[in-house]
Structure 1
Amino acid sequence: MWLSKGMDLRAENEIPQNEHSHLMSLRIEIIFAVAQGLRETELSVTAELVPTSSWNISSELDKDSYLTLDEPMNNITTSLGQTAELHCKVSGNPLPTIRWFKNDAPVVQEPRRISFRATNYGSRLRIRNLDTTDTGYFQCVATNGKKVVSTTGVLFVKFGPPPTASPGSS
């Protein structure tokens, strides 16, 4: 490239990143200046490192942090008027908080009918006096602030008498 008198050329490049690298951008500025009436050319190069992502530095407290789905949620088929219990079996450190959803909407507790509570294994959702409108996909989502796990089960409420054990089953 030929430069004319007093022309500046500035270039800026970034080092490519991928999910496996924690690199910084290298900003390079090159300035060419042609002195007016002289044969001398001035070349100025500056470089600086610019952070492009934060470093993931674990503290001693993080090494004992975990969140585990201990058991997937079961599907339940039952009848009108019955009670259903869905269990969210998770463990973690720090102790996880658990949210319940029905068909992707938060479950709203109703006094004496729909309730959920923390248990020593995670959480339990109980629905009393079931109606066919209670049929749906139920999901529990647990988080300990560092990780998130979830499990989904289907509750199907049908018309008719509750299921009975057939002879020979235990």
Structure 2
Amino acid sequence: MAPMPDDDLFIEPASDEDVVYGDYNSTMDGASSSGPRPYIRLTSQLKNATRSAGGEVRFRCEAIGTPPLSFTWLKNHAPIEKSRRVKVRNRENSSRLVITELDVLDSGYYQCIASNSAASVNTTSVLRVSRFT
């Protein structure tokens, strides 16, 4: 319904529900594109760990970002090989690495890499496994 010439126009104050978050870009031809740009960010950092041989360690890596996210685990810069003792469980925004029956040879640098279409981010931990005491 179109307002009549003698009708008053009333504009209500803006509220939080009126805000549209995101990044907006202008193009050279004056058209604009909207929508959030892809992003990724770690929400936690791996912590260094010291364990005894025979024990277990759990590392958890969490990130937020534009889906889908993928996670990769490295030991000393090489991809982790899953086995009966080494398990990786990936979820939408996190990944967990569990190593059981630890051996001193499991000592090293462990890195989680979270990736999506925007970028890759990583966090690293040092695992020290000591012999039985």
> Fold match, TM over 0.5?
yes
Structure 1 stretches of 4+ with a deviation exceeding 3 A read 58-61
Shift in Å at residue 156 of structure 1?
0.6
Structure 2 match to 1:3: none
Shift in Å at residue 160 of structure 1?
2.6
Among 16, 39, 44, the residue aligned to 1:66: 39
- The residue type paired with residue 160 of structure 1 is F
Structure 1 match to 2:117: 145
Structure 1 match to 2:70: 97
The CA deviation string for residues 11-41 of structure 1, in whole angstroms up to 9 with x for no partner, is xxxxxxxxxxxxxxxxxxxxxxxxxxxxxxx
Shift in Å at residue 64 of structure 1?
5.0
Of structures 1 and 2, the one scoring higher in RCO (CA 8 A, sep 6+) is 2
Task: Output the TM-score relative to the length of structure 1.
Answer: 0.56
Structure 2 match to 1:87: 60
Question: Larger Cα Rg: Structure 1 or Structure 2?
Answer: 1
- Structure 2 gaps, min length 5: 1-31
Higher strand residue share: 1
Matches within 5 A, 1:1-170: 60-61=34-35, 63=36, 65-110=38-83, 112-119=84-91, 121-161=93-133
Q: Equivalents in 1 of 2:65, 2:45: separation in Å? A: 15
The aligned length equals 102
Task: Output the TM-score relative to the length of structure 2.
Answer: 0.70
Shift in Å at residue 121 of structure 1?
4.4
